[in-house]
Chains A and B, each alone.
Chain A
Amino acid sequence: MTRTHVSATVNGDPAEFLSDPGTTLLDALRDELGLTGAKEGCGSGDCGACSVIVDGRLVCACLMLAAEAEGRRIETIEGMADGSTLHPLQRQFLEHAALQCGFCTPGMLVATKALLDANPDPTESETRYWLAGNLCRCTGYDKVIRAVMDAAAELRQVRV
């Protein structure tokens, strides 16, 4: 079986890998590129644990074929911090204790980044509906939403 050669930009750096026809972007990120931050929670696009941003758009990596990543710009959780400096979202999650087991956290953070890129001043309701595709079984979402609202406020200050 011939494997497809894929070239893409991942977290700002060029990346290449080989994929089978059925390999998902999630499989490729985890198994070929060693970026295990995105997680498989369901494999059917229902839990959001595999959330990544592709050409600026929030996507479930398990629903995208690896071959479709050709030429695209992909952002994963591993690219969120600036070197050793955590992104305000990451920091607010920790300050608010907005994670317990931490499994949904990478997907939750990526999805939230996509929200704030699109809407820097979301209401609680907008935030909840945006994150409805990111399942969390541990927190009940309360502290997650608070962390996002505070991070949004902090980022708005920085922009001003």
Chain B
Amino acid sequence: MTDVLDRPDAKAGLKVVGTRPVRPDGADKVTGRAAFGADFAMPGMLVGKIKRSPHAHARIVSIDTKKARALIGVKAVVTAADFPDLASEEYEAGEGAANMRDLSLNCMAREKVLYDGHAVAAVAATSTAIADQALDLIEVKYEVLPHVIDVEAAMAPDAPLLHAHLFTEGLEARPDKPSNIASRNQLARGDLDAGFLVADVIVEGRYTTAAVHQGYIEPHACVAAFGADGQCQVWSSSQGQFMVRTYCAKVLGLESSDIRVTPAEIGGGFGGKTTVYLEPLALALSRQAGAPVKMVMTREEVFRATGPTSGAVIEVKLAAKADGTLVAADVVLKYQAGAFPGSPVGPGSMTALACYDVPNFRVTGFDVVTNSPKVAAYRAPGAPISAFGVESAIDELALKLGMDPIALRMKNAVRDGVKAAYGPTFRYIGYVETLEAIQNHPHYRAPLGPNQGRGVAVGFWFNVGGESTAAVNIGEDGTATVITGNPDIGGSRVSMAMMAAEVLGLPVEKVRPIVADTASIGFSMLTGGSRTTFATGMAVTQAAQKIVADLERRAAQIWEVAADNVDWLDGAAVCLDAAKAVPDLTLASLAAQSARTGGPIGAQVSLTAQGAGPGFGAHICDVEVDPETGHVTVLRYTAAQDVGRAIHPAYVEGQIQGGVAQGIGWALNEEYVFDRDGRMENAGFLDYRVPVASDLPMIEPIIVEVANPRHPFGAKGVGEVPIVPPLAAVANAVRAAIGVRMTDLPLSPPKIRAAIDAR
């Protein structure tokens, strides 16, 4: 169970928010009735398949599709020739600006293939068997080029060049030669050299991580139908149906209004489904074939051709006084971007020192293209990587100073009124509270046995706001429907119902939340960035408040009193005019009279939510290392996190536990293994080893609530912070268990054994 640090004044009077109702989509999910991306079918549907490059880097000399087109049962074949050759243009539709040309080239290669698995052609046929045959009949001639995957190798001046026109941005002077370094960014404060001069203790470390995949269990899937009238329908498993619509429109040169995207239930995303791979291809095939096309990736395709996150190098130099006060920090980050620019080195740089009040620092980040799949967002993109380096270095510092690791962090903790490393002054943050929570937790004092060690680490994520629309409609029987445009990836839909129920004064069972398609609800930015409960919740709450104001007006009309003489309490209008002895009017009775008091009762709110509250987490991890095998077992894990307000505590706990599990996998087992030809060797769940039930203990979440005053219920985003600390929490625990600092993730048994042997 969780510990919840209460602020009684803020929670007083809440009847629904903070409880744990069963989710309204639950029955469908446990009976197999819920429809995910691959569960949908349309009459006359064809099967779409993709031909992929077997080379990590090559020029496409020619593509001959004649034989494939001639095969009976093949109804369409597309290559880059079937897509507009887009100019390089930044467009905001997903989670930040994406370069539309890069997106288009990633969906379908033009002139060059840049990673093993890069799509070069696609077919639609009447059966999977025929589609597979057709792929074999497509003849592609390649001129194989040398490839580069390691990030530092890609940065070297003589490295194979992926893009002839890529010149490093962010340098003092524009370079005259292209390179694989897409950009360099720098964040600095104070005087670094002066800081190092006054230091009593300096620690330096070089840390490395491998590319890891989001690992959602549901492969990408969609069904697309391009109508004879140019009207398109797409059924897709994604984190944002509006994003899918926009990207398809851009990649295919269509109008957004001609595409209607219906969100399927989504089997995990974690950022990996904030872009498109299949949908534009499926639409292009459907247009040619004149029939709907279904495309579902295999697990191998998911690994080979959808974005993992960066592998990286992190160099950290920290300096402190003898009493633990940090005086200087110098961090260098080198992140793989995959085939096209756009690694999360920017946020990785901004979050690296976010938990610390350091007067002098410099964080330098390099975004480097490599012959590997184009990197996609993965839960707090970039932050776990830089945190691994910084939190390991802080751990080293604590050891060198002989200081308790929580005390060291407390000494340098950011608080309200402190300037964040990325600039603005922090307000309403709960970082210190999370440190206190783990410090006071019995886990921190529990005894450890032989070969066991304990590690502590902290983490930060901004959380975002963004555009959201919500509609609330009242039925003639006084029940409510809440309509939003945010796919539910972790139980958010029930939180929407709860917030509306709270405002309306209805039991949550009488509030039905649905996630609508792009034609049925106003625009919403996608589900991600820990934004849904915050931003869409804000829109839902405001829409419900509008309805309450309307209900009060109607009651005033019925009672013939002034509108300000009516209050809304526990789901009913209450007359404040003492002279009128009238019974309360329930929502149901007002709904029954809606026609006579102004018409149907409903409200829609569209907003850009501002003031998202940043989140902080503090974790404790206990491990046991088997000295013979090098195997690391996580024995116990406690994770405290400031969530502002837990709307539905069970799903908040779930986000914390899930993020921790992914972080543990990242620390111990997961990595992309490439062979000499740049092909992924472990493109399946057997050898790409994610944590299984027997790998993990119970994960204890501690919910800390320091309300964000910008949200009607005080909520901050939750989903991303929990994956940030575990990499270092595990590594620090291993350090304590074996006495050796492990700097290269994942901490697989052979590496641990080698470290033990070298002791």
- B-binding residues in A (CB < 8 A): 20, 22, 30, 35-44, 46-47, 49, 76-78, 80-81, 86, 90, 93-97, 99-106, 109, 125, 127-129, 131-146
Q: What chain B residues lie within 8 Å of A47 (beta carbons)?
A: 217, 299, 685
Among residues 95 to 145 in chain B, which have CB atoms less than 8 Å away from a CB atom of chain A? 129
- A-binding residues in B (CB < 8 A): 20, 22-23, 25-27, 29-36, 38-39, 129, 214-219, 265-270, 296, 298-299, 489-491, 648, 650-651, 653-655, 657-658, 660-662, 684-686, 690-696, 698-699
Rounded to whole angstroms, the CA-CA distance of A44 and B662 in the bound complex is 22
The answer, among A37, A131, A137, A142, for a CB contact under 8 Å with B32, is A37
Q: What chain A residues lie within 8 Å of B27 (beta carbons)?
A: 86, 94
Given A46-B684, A47-B685, A137-B658: A103 and B693 interface contact (C-beta under 8 Å): no
Chain B nearest CB from A82 CB (Å) reads 11
Rounded to whole angstroms, the CA-CA distance of A132 and B217 in the bound complex is 14
Q: What chain A residues lie within 8 Å of B694 (beta carbons)?
A: 125, 128-129, 131-132
Identify the interface centre among A136, A144, A146: most chain B CB within 10 Å of its CB.
A136
Q: What chain A residues lie within 8 Å of B29 (beta carbons)?
A: 99, 102, 105
Rounded to whole angstroms, the CA-CA distance of A120 and B437 in the bound complex is 38
Given A37-B31, A95-B22: A103 and B217 interface contact (C-beta under 8 Å): yes
Chain A nearest CB from B758 CB (Å) reads 32
Closest A-B pairs by Cβ, 3 of them: A37-B32, A103-B267, A140-B661
A134 touching B658 by the CB < 8 A rule?
no
Chain A nearest CB from B76 CB (Å) reads 21
Rounded to whole angstroms, the CA-CA distance of A86 and B26 in the bound complex is 11
A41 touching B219 by the CB < 8 A rule?
yes
A78 touching B299 by the CB < 8 A rule?
no
A145 touching B267 by the CB < 8 A rule?
no
The answer, among A22, A30, A46, A143, for a CB contact under 8 Å with B686, is A46
Chain A nearest CB from B636 CB (Å) reads 12
Rounded to whole angstroms, the CA-CA distance of A99 and B269 in the bound complex is 14
Identify the interface centre among B129, B217, B648, B692: most chain A CB within 10 Å of its CB.
B217
Can you list 30 pairs linking A and B with CB atoms under 8 Å apart? A35-B32, A37-B31, A37-B32, A37-B33, A39-B36, A41-B218, A46-B684, A77-B30, A77-B31, A86-B30, A95-B22, A96-B650, A97-B650, A100-B490, A100-B491, A101-B269, A102-B25, A103-B218, A106-B32, A109-B30, A132-B694, A132-B695, A134-B693, A137-B658, A138-B658, A139-B654, A139-B657, A139-B661, A141-B696, A145-B693
Q: What chain B residues lie within 8 Å of A95 (beta carbons)?
A: 22
B299 touching A42 by the CB < 8 A rule?
yes
Given A40-B219, A41-B219, A99-B29: A20 and B129 interface contact (C-beta under 8 Å): yes
Q: What chain A residues lie within 8 Å of B268 (beta carbons)?
A: 101, 103, 137-138
Q: What chain A residues lie within 8 Å of B217 (beta carbons)?
A: 39, 41, 47, 49, 101, 103-104, 135-137
B491 touching A43 by the CB < 8 A rule?
no
The answer, among B39, B653, B684, B693, for a CB contact under 8 Å with A141, is B693
The answer, among B25, B33, B654, B692, for a CB contact under 8 Å with A97, is B654
Q: What chain A residues lie within 8 Å of B219 (beta carbons)?
A: 40-41
Q: What chain A residues lie within 8 Å of B215 (beta carbons)?
A: 137
Q: What chain A residues lie within 8 Å of B218 (beta carbons)?
A: 39, 41, 101, 103
Residue of B whose beta carbon sits closest to that of A148 = B693
A137 touching B690 by the CB < 8 A rule?
yes
Chain B nearest CB from A116 CB (Å) reads 15
A44 touching B267 by the CB < 8 A rule?
no
A137 touching B270 by the CB < 8 A rule?
yes
Q: What chain B residues lie within 8 Å of A39 (beta carbons)?
A: 36, 38, 217-218, 267
Given A20-B129, A97-B23: A90 and B34 interface contact (C-beta under 8 Å): no
B693 touching A102 by the CB < 8 A rule?
no
Chain B nearest CB from A45 CB (Å) reads 8
Rounded to whole angstroms, the CA-CA distance of A95 and B698 in the bound complex is 18
The answer, among A35, A94, A142, for a CB contact under 8 Å with B657, is A142
Given A43-B299, A139-B657: A102 and B685 interface contact (C-beta under 8 Å): no
Chain B nearest CB from A68 CB (Å) reads 19
B35 touching A143 by the CB < 8 A rule?
no
Q: What chain A residues lie within 8 Å of B655 (beta carbons)?
A: 100
Rounded to whole angstroms, the CA-CA distance of A131 and B694 in the bound complex is 8
A42 touching B684 by the CB < 8 A rule?
yes
Rounded to whole angstroms, the CA-CA distance of A63 and B67 in the bound complex is 32
The answer, among B32, B685, B693, for a CB contact under 8 Å with A36, is B32
Rounded to whole angstroms, the CA-CA distance of A133 and B696 in the bound complex is 14
Identify the interface centre among B26, B650, B691: most chain A CB within 10 Å of its CB.
B26
Given A44-B299, A101-B267: A140 and B30 interface contact (C-beta under 8 Å): no
Rounded to whole angstroms, the CA-CA distance of A95 and B168 in the bound complex is 53
Rounded to whole angstroms, the CA-CA distance of A6 and B217 in the bound complex is 30
Q: What chain B residues lie within 8 Å of A80 (beta carbons)?
A: 31
A142 touching B685 by the CB < 8 A rule?
no
Rounded to whole angstroms, the CA-CA distance of A93 and B30 in the bound complex is 8
Q: What chain B residues lie within 8 Å of A140 (beta carbons)?
A: 654, 657-658, 660-661, 691, 696, 699
Q: What chain B residues lie within 8 Å of A131 (beta carbons)?
A: 692-694
Rounded to whole angstroms, the CA-CA distance of A140 and B692 in the bound complex is 8
Q: What chain B residues lie within 8 Å of A134 (beta carbons)?
A: 692-693
Given A43-B299, A100-B489: A139 and B658 interface contact (C-beta under 8 Å): yes
Residue of B whose beta carbon sits closest to that of A47 = B685
Chain A nearest CB from B330 CB (Å) reads 35
Q: What chain B residues lie within 8 Å of A30 (beta carbons)?
A: 38-39
Chain B nearest CB from A16 CB (Å) reads 20
Identify the interface centre among A36, A76, A99, A137: most chain B CB within 10 Å of its CB.
A137
Rounded to whole angstroms, the CA-CA distance of A76 and B30 in the bound complex is 12
Given A47-B685, A135-B690, A139-B657: A102 and B31 interface contact (C-beta under 8 Å): no
Q: What chain B residues lie within 8 Å of A81 (beta carbons)?
A: 31
Given A90-B31, A143-B657: A103 and B36 interface contact (C-beta under 8 Å): yes
A101 touching B490 by the CB < 8 A rule?
yes
Q: What chain A residues lie within 8 Å of B25 (beta carbons)?
A: 102
Rounded to whole angstroms, the CA-CA distance of A12 and B34 in the bound complex is 22
Rounded to whole angstroms, the CA-CA distance of A73 and B691 in the bound complex is 32
A137 touching B662 by the CB < 8 A rule?
yes
Q: What chain A residues lie within 8 Å of B696 (beta carbons)?
A: 128, 140-142
The answer, among A76, A100, A106, for a CB contact under 8 Å with B658, is A100
Q: What chain A residues lie within 8 Å of B32 (beta carbons)?
A: 35-38, 76-78, 106
Rounded to whole angstroms, the CA-CA distance of A45 and B510 in the bound complex is 41
B699 touching A142 by the CB < 8 A rule?
yes
5 new A-B pairs (CB below 8 Å) besides A30-B38, A86-B31, A133-B692? Answer: A37-B32, A101-B489, A132-B693, A138-B268, A139-B654
Q: What chain A residues lie within 8 Å of B36 (beta carbons)?
A: 39, 103
Residue of A whose beta carbon sits closest to that of B660 = A140
Residue of B whose beta carbon sits closest to that of A34 = B41
Rounded to whole angstroms, the CA-CA distance of A35 and B31 in the bound complex is 11
Q: What chain B residues lie within 8 Å of A78 (beta carbons)?
A: 31-33
Chain A nearest CB from B527 CB (Å) reads 11
Rounded to whole angstroms, the CA-CA distance of A120 and B490 in the bound complex is 30
Q: What chain B residues lie within 8 Å of A100 (beta carbons)?
A: 489-491, 651, 654-655, 658
Rounded to whole angstroms, the CA-CA distance of A144 and B692 in the bound complex is 12
The answer, among B129, B266, B653, B685, for a CB contact under 8 Å with A42, is B685
Rounded to whole angstroms, the CA-CA distance of A77 and B315 in the bound complex is 50
Q: What chain A residues lie within 8 Å of B23 (beta carbons)?
A: 94, 97
Q: What chain A residues lie within 8 Å of B654 (beta carbons)?
A: 97, 100, 138-140, 143
Residue of A whose beta carbon sits closest to that of B129 = A20
Residue of B whose beta carbon sits closest to that of A130 = B693
The answer, among B20, B489, B685, for a CB contact under 8 Å with A44, is B685
Given A96-B650, A104-B217, A136-B217: A43 and B298 interface contact (C-beta under 8 Å): yes
Rounded to whole angstroms, the CA-CA distance of A144 and B654 in the bound complex is 10
B267 touching A102 by the CB < 8 A rule?
yes
Rounded to whole angstroms, the CA-CA distance of A41 and B299 in the bound complex is 7
Chain A nearest CB from B36 CB (Å) reads 6
Chain A nearest CB from B681 CB (Å) reads 15
Rounded to whole angstroms, the CA-CA distance of A28 and B660 in the bound complex is 37
Rounded to whole angstroms, the CA-CA distance of A146 and B698 in the bound complex is 9
